[in-house]
Structure 1
């Protein structure tokens, strides 16, 4: 039986590179999502099917969430935030499939996601504001605060990775312990708990990423609002 602890054993090796269950499941999610989106895009109709209506509803919900936080730059950052949200929902819920473990129960996976948010935050900030203008916010309101700004960038990235990992790992462990104690007497409450918690954690991670990206984009506008 696969180890339920924090150590994820490799499934196979490619030279010096060890491929774990986390990597395989992540590849599978990316492949299936890509194929699904491609197939859906080739079957769009003016009279939408129920599936198309559901997908359009998801897209509109993501668009509204992004627009509420960063209305002036929603078009630029929505593809990233939307893709992150969709991946996290699928990754968190795939633990419900027998024999499949959620990639987000692996600290290496959540660290990679947190680093992606970290890099994207600076990339969007530099792309939209320009390098000089973006870097100025690290010296505001005083250059003395530069070390604290840098420390906050590191600590929030670590917190982003550890929060998702800890919650998803504890969720799987709690479900396992309850099933070991109660058997299958209470599978539906455990299933519902897993679904709700998985969706909540995906929402929190994506919303924090959205806030970080929006903050990097709007830092200059917040300090120097346009004159009326």
Structure 2
């Protein structure tokens, strides 16, 4: 039983190797790219929409609504990044039902790469919204003594993102393999269905946590603006 797709090597030349993680990662990216092109090449603004366009609009609207609910901000700037994360993870996990497919999210290298994308995106979004100096002040609030703890927190939540996704996908594969060796008919089917549900939930959790981290990095200015607006309102009321 193969736990990680990293261990499945299709081709190797010296230190370079092509393993299942790389192959199936490119498969998922190709499916997302080709699928999005096929669906969006004939978009309609009329009353009659194709089933695929309806599905696309439902998915995009759902992701947009979740981003706005979590961040209390407009979803436009975050939708491409969070949406890509969610779609890549959920398609990878759903394709686990296909015989012979090894989800790249079952590899620690893939989940680490996804977590590092979030790790880089958080300060980028924060700096873009607040400016570099204002964002860096977050790490020394309420006192400069909090700097090492805030830095450790940034690193630990990145590790937690990677390990959580990897652990859930890998554990599901291991359990199915064990049950398949013991009872090769009924229980593996049930576990595959449970694994399917777990894969969807994990994609949702990863995307939501990524948005929570980004929202926390971009909330300071919004809170300041709200406070200033409230002060202006109070002044207007007092003047009246």
TM range (shorter): over 0.9
SS in structure 1 of the partner of residue 77 of structure 2: helix
Cα drift, residue 131 of structure 1: 0.8
Cα drift, residue 192 of structure 1: 1.5
Cα drift, residue 3 of structure 1: 2.8
Contact conserved, 2:4 with 2:107, CA < 8 A, in 1?
A: no
Contact conserved, 1:134 with 1:220, CA < 8 A, in 2?
A: no
Contact conserved, 1:103 with 1:109, CA < 8 A, in 2?
A: yes
Structure 1, unpaired ranges of 5+: none
Cα drift, residue 7 of structure 1: 5.5
Map 1:135-154 onto structure 2 (within 5 A): 135-154=136-155
Cα drift, residue 54 of structure 1: 1.6
- TM-score under structure 1 length normalisation: 0.93
SS in structure 2 of the partner of residue 76 of structure 1: coil
The aligned counterpart of 2:28 is: 29
Contact conserved, 1:139 with 1:146, CA < 8 A, in 2?
A: yes
The aligned counterpart of 1:70 is: 71
SS in structure 2 of the partner of residue 74 of structure 1: coil
Tell which deviates more after alignment, 211-220 or 100-109.
211-220
- Name the larger-Rg structure: 2
CA RMSD of the aligned region, Å? 1.8
CA offsets, 1:187-227, max 9 Å, x none?
44223211111111111111111101111111343467432
- TM-score under structure 2 length normalisation: 0.88
Structure 2, unpaired ranges of 5+: 231-240
Map 1:149-168 onto structure 2 (within 5 A): 149-168=150-169
- The total of aligned residue pairs comes to 227
